[in-house]
Amino acid sequence: MLADLFLVVITPMLQIPAMICFSITQICYFIRIYTNQESKKEKLIHIVIRTSGIILILILTLIVLKEKTDFLSLISTFYYINLIVNIIFAFKQSNQSLLFPIGLLLFACCDLQVGLNVLNSSYINIENNVVLNFIANPPFNLAWAFYVPSQTLIALSLIKDKTST
C-alpha cells in the first residue's frame, strides 16, 4: 500500500520510496517462499540463484545505462530480479498454492509495462521498437489490467483450504 501511495496518490510521485517499498515486499515474499522449502539443498540453490541474479542484474544495469545509471534504476532492477526469482521458486511450490505464483506472474506483467514506460521516458528510447513501444504505451491501462488480479490472487493465496485441515 505504501508503494502505491507513493506512485498513485501523492503528486508528484515518489518513485524511489515506492521502489524501496516494493523491494521490501519482494524480500518478504522471498522469506515466505524460502521458509516453505524443506530441503537444505533447495535452500542453498535458492540463495545462490537469487544472489547471482542480483549481482548480474546490477552489473547489467551499470553496463546498459552507463552514465544514466541512478539509484532508481538500481533499486528497480534489484526489485524486478527478486520478483522474477520469487516467481520461479513460487511455481516450484505450486502444490502449496497456485494462486501465489500466478499472482506474482501477473504482478511482473504489470511492472513490466510500467517499467518499460519509465525506461522509455527516462533512460532509453524504445519508440523504434514496435513491440516494446506497444507494451509501454498500450491503448488501454494495461498495468491495472494485471495489477488488480495479481493483488487479489496474492491475498487469496494466504487463505488456508479448510477442507485440508
Mean pLDDT across the stretch 86-98?
93
**Which grid cell is 24?**
521490501
Mean pLDDT along residues 13-38: 95
Residue with cell 504505451: 137
Instruction: Quote the pLDDT of residue 165.
Output: 45
Which of 114, 116, 110 is CA-nearest to residue 153? 110
Contact 99, 159 (CB under 8 A): no
pTM: 0.89
pLDDT value for 126: 78
The CB-side HSE value for 17 (13 A sphere, CA atoms) comes to 12
- Residues 99-155 pLDDT 10s: 999 999 999 999 988 888 888 788 888 778 788 777 777 888 888 899 999 999 999
SS3 content of the chain, % helix, strand, coil (to 5): 80, 0, 20
Asked whether the predicted pLDDT for residue 61 surpasses 90, the reply is: yes
Give tens-digit pLDDT for 32-60: 999 999 899 999 999 999 999 999 999 99
Amino acid symbol at 74: L
